Amino acid sequence: MTVVQDRTPPDRTTTTLLDLTRDLQAQEETIRQGSGEAGRRRQESLGRLTVRQRLSELLDQGTPFWELGLWAAWQMYGDWGDVPAAGVVTGIGQVSGRRVLVVANDATVKAGAFFPQTVKKVLRAQRIATAFRLPLVYLVDSAGVFLPLQDEIFPDEDDFGRIFRNNAVISAMGIPQYAAVMGNCVAGGAYLPVLSDTLLITEGSQLYLAGPALVKAAIGQRTDPEQLGGAAMHAQISGTADYHEPDDHACLRRLRSLLGLLPAASGRDAEAGVGSEVGRIANPSRTEADLLDGLAIRPTGKPTPDLLPLAGEAGVAPARDAEDLYRIVPADGRGEYDVRDVLACLADAGSVQEFRADYGRTLVTAFVRIGGRPAGVVASQRKRCRTAAGEVQIGGVLYADSAEKAARFVMECNQTSLPMVFLQDVQGFMVGREAEQSGIIRSGAKLVNVVSNSVVPKLTVILGGSFGAGNYALCGKAYDPWLVLAWPSARYAVMGGEQAADTLLELRLRDARRRGPPLAEEEIQRLREEMRRRYDQQTDIRYGAARGWVDAIVAPHQTRQWLAMALGMIPEKRSWGEFRTGMLQV
């Protein structure tokens, strides 16, 4: 089944942010179908539910499922056909009133086999669960490693074996893990459920290190799958299974019952009461609801555009409607806007306290509340400004003064144990003689240092550009954010497309001059367009999401709910460790 055939990035000069969002959401609906009708019929013939049906029965009705990594593996394995969502569904949901992180194989996609991006997606899910201390629920239905790509999956520290190492470490941390074998679970993959704290298995499922064919080839023994690793054998003979269930429905009911025995969450959601109105689905009430239809976070029931306020947030709405974001931020990444207007759509009204508002103005630093939860925000300012000395500073560019201010702000957030939210729409650091003489490298290094050593929880949202060292300084994926979200307008690259195309072209022309006569003008133009097109494809946020650089592409008007959800899950009364920076360039 072809998920998304068009590799061409959208024309951002004529497309609005709302258009971009609606287009990506339509593509996501196709990805969620897995391998489509043929795969669904196969699961039915085996008496099994599809992965989305399993999630619908597992999660509390009427609550949202915050899906992670939906774009994983998008258009990455053309030689082997499409692998929608990397063949595994991951996300945060609510089960029996308790927030959990679910990892569920999609057996309709290559029999649930693990591709390289499948492994990376599962590892990221484990890391997120560990940070937020969320119980993990694995719904296992997988044929194991995709053998043609085994050399990219098997041995390294971020490969298949790391999943099982994490199982053991997470268990030792006291974070509950439940594994339900609901189909195939073979070879090395068999360790995942056995290394979990609780193992359930359904009738007709198999759990073994080697199947009948491999056993015969290895030791000459003839056996059948049930004797080798059937549910009854593991329940009655090997003693491996804790619960033997007749079918998927019974297994999912058992999981819900077991999770209902867990103590209340230790995070801020515990105070709010997760089982009450947290994340409940409400009916649309705004005038633009028809435009936004279908853009909601996916609930377990019928999709609707809006969510009620989280319990405990005292009903403090933002100063501006979230739908204004579609008018504030341009899709092309070129227009100017005031990021304070974005904050007015995300933060509780009256809660924004800007830090050093008149200094280093290409970054906005502020203390805020989002859904009642306090946080420190570092946000790219996309509006040009003028310093007290009269120097014009370009919006979206980091200067020495803005980097110094942000570094000081990050240190203060660590001093007061405040979680941080980074809003990126950054072109990178300023270059040129004046910038270098101002100490831009030293100031940038200071910001990178404090972000690297920051111990408080960090959340990152990519609104537009995320280029070069600006990505690093504002807490890109390499700097351990607990969650990375991106808007459909987001773009990732070492530099912008125009600059990259010109730089690569100059290198190509230099090589051509060394070898012989210079290239004709028509050939130069063809090369420039080819490089720009290829670079634009690679900066498309779908390209980055496919490789796990972001955890989710979110609709802008849903950003506040995502952030409030994440801030609400941060564990309370937990030491983040000592904040130390080592040597700082001063």
Spatial distance between the Cα atoms of 493 and 500, rounded to a whole number of angstroms: 9
Is pLDDT of 540 > 70? yes
What is the structure's pLDDT at 444?
A: 95
How confident is the model over 10-51, as pLDDT tens digits?
665 568 999 999 999 999 999 999 988 888 999 999 999 999
What is the structure's pLDDT at 499?
A: 67
Spatial distance between the Cα atoms of 244 and 233, rounded to a whole number of angstroms: 10
Q: Find out whether 234 and 201 touch, Cβ atoms under 8 Å.
A: yes
What is the structure's pLDDT at 8?
A: 57
What is the structure's pLDDT at 355?
A: 97
Residues 148-163, mean pLDDT to the nearest whole number: 88
Is pLDDT of 299 > 70? no
As to burial, measured by CB atoms within 10 angstroms (0-12 exposed, 13-18 middle, 19+ buried), residue 91 is buried
Which of the listed ranges 182-196, 371-385, 489-503 does the model predict with the highest average pLDDT? Answer: 371-385
Q: Find out whether 58 and 52 touch, Cβ atoms under 8 Å.
A: no
CA distances from 477 to 164, 305, 377, 424, 450 (A): 23, 29, 17, 12, 15
Is pLDDT of 348 > 70? yes
Among 55-59, 190-194, 483-487, the minimum mean pLDDT is found in: 190-194
Give the confidence band of 151 by pLDDT, cuts at 50, 70, 90: confident
* Angle between helix 400-415 and 440-453 (nearest 10): 20
Spatial distance between the Cα atoms of 263 and 98, rounded to a whole number of angstroms: 9
Mean model confidence pLDDT for the chain: 87
What is the structure's pLDDT at 11?
A: 60
Residues 52-56, mean pLDDT to the nearest whole number: 97
CB under 8 A, 24+ apart: contacts of 177-180: 177/135, 177/136, 177/137, 177/138, 178/135, 178/136, 178/137, 178/138, 178/255, 178/258, 178/259, 179/137, 179/138, 179/140, 180/137, 180/138, 180/139, 180/140, 180/251, 180/252, 180/255
Among 230-244, 429-443, 496-510, 559-573, the minimum mean pLDDT is found in: 496-510
Q: Find out whether 493 and 467 touch, Cβ atoms under 8 Å.
A: yes
Spatial distance between the Cα atoms of 201 and 526, rounded to a whole number of angstroms: 59
Is pLDDT of 304 > 90? no
What is the structure's pLDDT at 332?
A: 87
For residue 348, what is the DSSP state? B
What is the distance in angstroms between the CA of the first residue and the CA of the last residue of the chain? 57
Is pLDDT of 295 > 80? no
Spatial distance between the Cα atoms of 287 and 469, rounded to a whole number of angstroms: 41
- Which fold, 281-490+550-569? 2-enoyl-CoA Hydratase; Chain A, domain 1 (3.90.226)
Among 253-262, 498-507, 560-569, the minimum mean pLDDT is found in: 498-507
Residue 113, C-beta contacts closer than 8 angstroms, at least 6 positions apart: 87, 142, 143, 144, 145, 146
What is the structure's pLDDT at 141?
A: 95
Domain span(s) for CATH 3.90.226.10 in the chain: 32-265, 281-490+550-569
As to burial, measured by CB atoms within 10 angstroms (0-12 exposed, 13-18 middle, 19+ buried), residue 76 is middle
Amino acid at the residue 492: Y
Residues 523-550, mean pLDDT to the nearest whole number: 85
Closest C-alpha to 108, from 163, 31, 178, 161: 31
Spatial distance between the Cα atoms of 473 and 446, rounded to a whole number of angstroms: 9
SS3 220: coil
Is pLDDT of 235 > 90? yes
CATH of 32-265, one of 1.10.3720.10, 3.90.226.10, 3.40.50.720, 3.40.30.10: 3.90.226.10
Spatial distance between the Cα atoms of 26 and 449, rounded to a whole number of angstroms: 40
Q: Find out whether 34 and 86 touch, Cβ atoms under 8 Å.
A: no
Count of helices and strands (H, E) across the chain: 22, 22
CA 519 to chain centre: 44
Q: Residue 528: how many CA atoms within 13 Å on its side-chain side?
A: 12
Could you give phi then psi for residue 42, rounded to 5 degrees? -65, -45
Q: What is the pTM of this model?
A: 0.89
What is the structure's pLDDT at 265?
A: 67
Residues 276-281, mean pLDDT to the nearest whole number: 31
Q: Residue 151: how many CA atoms within 13 Å on its side-chain side?
A: 1
What is the structure's pLDDT at 576?
A: 79
Give the confidence band of 528 by pLDDT, cuts at 50, 70, 90: confident
Residue, of 282 and 206, whose pLDDT is higher: 206
Spatial distance between the Cα atoms of 547 and 121, rounded to a whole number of angstroms: 9
How confident is the model over 359-396, as pLDDT tens digits?
999 999 999 999 999 999 999 999 999 999 999 999 99
Could you give phi then psi for residue 134, rounded to 5 degrees? -95, 135
Could you give phi then psi for residue 548, rounded to 5 degrees? 80, 15
Residues 554-571, mean pLDDT to the nearest whole number: 96
The residue with tokens 């004046």 is 434
What percent of the chain has pLDDT above 70? 87
Q: Find out whether 262 and 272 touch, Cβ atoms under 8 Å.
A: no
How confident is the model over 250-264, as pLDDT tens digits?
999 999 999 999 987
Give the confidence band of 301 by pLDDT, cuts at 50, 70, 90: very low
Closest C-alpha to 475, from 491, 459, 492, 495: 459
The residue with tokens 């030491």 is 575
Among 46-50, 116-120, 503-507, the minimum mean pLDDT is found in: 503-507
